[in-house]
Structure 1
Amino acid sequence: MEHTYFITGFPGFIATKLLEALQNKYPSSQFYLLTLKQERKIAEQKLKDYGKNTVLLEGDITKEGLGLPDYLSREIAEKITHCIHLAALYDLTAAYSPSYSCNVIGTEHVIKFVKTCKNIRRFGYFSTAYVSGNEKGKIVEFSLSEPAGFRNYYEQTKNEAERIVRMNMDEMPITILRPGIIVGDSRTGQTIKFDGPYFMMQFLRRLSALPIPYIGRTASNIHLVPVDFIINASVFLLHDKRGESKTYHLLSPSSPKIHDAYTLICKELNDKKPSWHLPRTIADRMLSISFISKWLGVPRETLSYFSHEADYDTSQLVQDLEGTGITCPPFEEYVPVLVRYYKDNAADVSLKRY
């Protein structure tokens, strides 16, 4: 047996992709996958494709002991070499209480469990680049800021959770991963949800017969990252000695300007360029009206991510991936693939998130 993994957040998109990659790279390994009771049927269906050497555990990170029987926790704790914590409440509109319960209390419970794993070689924690909240300017990888504010409780509670993880870095081998805005596979476009930049596509699709506006005027970057890069980088950093006790921004070192990304998507989707500017304040007022927001397919809460004036440093990431062949492709290279997948699947309601 090569490794024994304990992965939370299955059957989520990243957890599923990560399982597939780990099975391919370490085929003799054992996998324990923690899933919520209400997601068990979906998880079981997924395991028809990824069922080799896998054990599905019904549990809940918000509960003491992860909702697992004591005897089972003790049994698997003796085997686990790698714990990868992905489970989180990713909802930009969620209230503080459920966000805190899942993202903070849940992380505390996972860490408590990992401390009982005597053979642990790595604890991988998936944070987010947006733990920086409203902070502007250069955001470094090696520290966690205390921003003056956050756009939502997701950011705030992920910041609180990462702070707890960092407090345990002297006690266990930890790697913290901070992805940006995750999009589909750069080779196939495949994703399981149309959120983030896909809201932009839904907006442009709705207005395809009209003159297309830019939203606001900004020179900010948008920090998009394809899921295949996230997986490839994570698998390497969670196993190589270089990744121990470090934090990484899983982003492109050359994230596109929002203006450029928007123009590229508009060209691929509608074969036209934006021709006028809609002030951000007016767009915000429009999207505060529920039926307009629903019709356009864009939740108001996403607007702030398209004018975020932060520069995420990736120096540590670039340095530690040097020589591996793992690089994030430029956005202009894979945007046609993303848009094609969106066009082909725009009618699939299971992919919609708003």
Structure 2
Amino acid sequence: MSSSPPTVLLTGASGVLGTALLAELPAHCRVTALIHRCPCPAADDQFPGDLTAPRLGMDRETYRALARRVDAIVHCAAVTDFTSGPEAAHATNEAGTRAVVEFATDAGATPYHVSTAFVARHDLTRSRLGRDTGEAGARPEDYLDSKRAGEEVVRSSGLPSVIIRPSIVIGDSRTGDISAFQGLHGILLMLLRGMLPLVPLPATSLIDFVPQDVVARTIAALIAEERREGEVWVTAGPAALRAEQVLDVVADTCAELGLSTDMPRIVGADMVDRLIRPVFLAGGLPARALRRFDDMLAMTALFADAATFPTSLGELPGGPPPLTAARLDAVLRHSILYLAETKRLGDAAVRPMPVEVPA
């Protein structure tokens, strides 16, 4: 980077990580947002663009002018919907990443590519395990294949680059606020509404999630340090809560909210496949409910007795410390309260004012 204040190009500025990152980037950085649909007033500059179009959707003159200014690129934009299909996932997560890398080459800029820790679990999807996917519309394998391909684009470019792998990203650690609800929020909402009679997951499976501000602080620290290479895992690692602990937090928060919701029974996927789904669910549930259950089967397969993620938290100067189980418990509670308040469930008055969560 140059000796003058660095200019950071941010993709996905209106998304979960983009909005969190805008609040955490070093004050001396000048942030330029590449926007597609949503404006980004928090950025210093913004340019309309499209990751799937030539020159990122810009005319030649604008593209060249921007390339002369940019020192680093934080690539957060991605298709994360498991139901989007392989074409849409690869168009943004692979081809879009290729366009960003080409721009980085033209700009002589360092790409900070946001991937996902779950690329390490691409072999755990139900289809790859040879399990029936039923009526599921969710196909994690499409998303994971596209993210792995995106990482390969970055690695094969020959550019000095940093690959960042967060686990599940949830809301702000102090407030639970988030710009858009993610997959885990959908499962939490079904729990709050009493719509899950069972959870097809071993009780001791680790549910690795990280608050959005921790991911944003990690990326900000990488830029401040001018890190130009490596792979950074932003995960809870060994501190991740077990599935049974997550349900305990949900149950306690439901009680606080005045919601009389029975927690589901935890069962193994083998029992679901051999007995529960073919005997009790198939033909006995409305099609929409069965599809929702099969979607949950598809998502929870990525956690069932999976190996613990590595974590880089605590290793980066100026970055956030490692997460602890106590902090994750509090972080999850804040996210549940925010979700309940937004969906008008229970007594919203119990939601506390934002507080610092002890490390």
TM-score bin (small chain): 0.7 to 0.9
| Matching residue of 2:119 | 131
Summarize deviations over 1:133-158 as a string: whole Å, max 9, x none. 3447xxxxxxxxxx999842110010
Answering whether residue 311 of structure 2 is matched by residue 310 of structure 1, we say: no
Aligned counterpart for 1:5 among listed residues 2, 8, 28:
8
Q: Please list, as runs of the form range in 1=range in 2, the aligned pairs for 1:200-279 lying within 5 A after superposition.
A: 200-207=187-194, 213-241=198-226, 243-253=227-237, 254-270=239-255, 274=263, 276-279=265-268
Aligned counterpart for 1:337 among listed residues 299, 316, 334:
334
Give the CA deviation at 1:187: 0.5
Aligned counterpart for 1:162 among listed residues 151, 155, 168:
151
Secondary structure of residue in 2 paired with 1:176: strand
| Matching residue of 1:33 | 33
Give the direction of change, closer, same or farther, for the CA distance of 1:18–1:318 in structure 2 (3 Å limit). Answer: closer
| Matching residue of 1:199 | 186
- Aligned-pair identity in percent equals 20
Give the direction of change, closer, same or farther, for the CA distance of 1:324–1:74 in structure 2 (3 Å limit). Answer: closer
| Matching residue of 1:153 | 142
Give distance in 2, aligned partners of 1:191 and 1:270.
Answer: 23
Aligned residues: 316
Give the CA deviation at 1:278: 4.5
Give distance in 2, aligned partners of 1:293 and 1:231.
Answer: 37
Secondary structure of residue in 2 paired with 1:321: coil
Give the CA deviation at 1:104: 0.8
User: Contact 2:201–2:243 (CA<8 Å) still a contact in 1?
Assistant: no
Answering whether residue 67 of structure 2 is matched by residue 70 of structure 1, we say: no
Summarize deviations over 1:199-256 as a string: whole Å, max 9, x none. 2321222228x9x645343422111111111111111023315x43110111013111
Secondary structure of residue in 2 paired with 1:6: strand
User: Contact 2:221–2:317 (CA<8 Å) still a contact in 1?
Assistant: no
Give distance in 2, aligned partners of 1:295 and 1:155.
Answer: 20
Give distance in 1, aligned partners of 2:162 and 2:129.
Answer: 26
Kindly provide the amino acid, as one letter, of the partner of residue 235 in structure 2. L
Aligned counterpart for 1:320 among listed residues 283, 291, 315:
315
Give the CA deviation at 1:346: 1.6
Answering whether residue 178 of structure 2 is matched by residue 188 of structure 1, we say: no
Kindly provide the amino acid, as one letter, of the partner of residue 14 in structure 2. P
Kindly provide the amino acid, as one letter, of the partner of residue 258 in structure 1. A
Give the direction of change, closer, same or farther, for the CA distance of 1:96–1:298 in structure 2 (3 Å limit). Answer: closer
Summarize deviations over 1:287-313 as a string: whole Å, max 9, x none. 996421588897554232442513211
Give the direction of change, closer, same or farther, for the CA distance of 1:294–1:203 in structure 2 (3 Å limit). Answer: farther
Give distance in 1, aligned partners of 2:232 and 2:12.
Answer: 20
Q: Please list, as runs of the form range in 1=range in 2, the aligned pairs for 1:97-116 lying within 5 A after superposition.
A: 97-116=87-106
Secondary structure of residue in 2 paired with 1:2: coil
Give distance in 1, aligned partners of 2:70 and 2:210.
Answer: 30
Q: What is the aligned-residue RMSD (CA, Å)? A: 3.1
User: Contact 1:202–1:298 (CA<8 Å) still a contact in 2?
Assistant: no
Kindly provide the amino acid, as one letter, of the partner of residue 5 in structure 1. V
| Matching residue of 2:166 | 179
Secondary structure of residue in 1 paired with 2:241: coil
Give the CA deviation at 1:192: 2.2
Secondary structure of residue in 2 paired with 1:98: helix
Give the direction of change, closer, same or farther, for the CA distance of 1:236–1:284 in structure 2 (3 Å limit). Answer: farther
User: Contact 2:167–2:235 (CA<8 Å) still a contact in 1?
Assistant: yes
Give distance in 1, aligned partners of 2:69 and 2:317.
Answer: 32
Secondary structure of residue in 2 paired with 1:18: helix
Summarize deviations over 1:60-119 as a string: whole Å, max 9, x none. 11112111111111111111111111111111112211211111111111111111113x
User: Contact 1:201–1:269 (CA<8 Å) still a contact in 2?
Assistant: no
Give distance in 1, aligned partners of 2:341 and 2:294.
Answer: 17
- Please give the TM-score of this superposition, normalised by the length of structure 2: 0.78
Give distance in 2, aligned partners of 1:87 and 1:325.
Answer: 23
User: Contact 1:252–1:328 (CA<8 Å) still a contact in 2?
Assistant: yes
- Please give the TM-score of this superposition, normalised by the length of structure 1: 0.79
Give the direction of change, closer, same or farther, for the CA distance of 1:197–1:97 in structure 2 (3 Å limit). Answer: closer
Answering whether residue 18 of structure 2 is matched by residue 21 of structure 1, we say: no
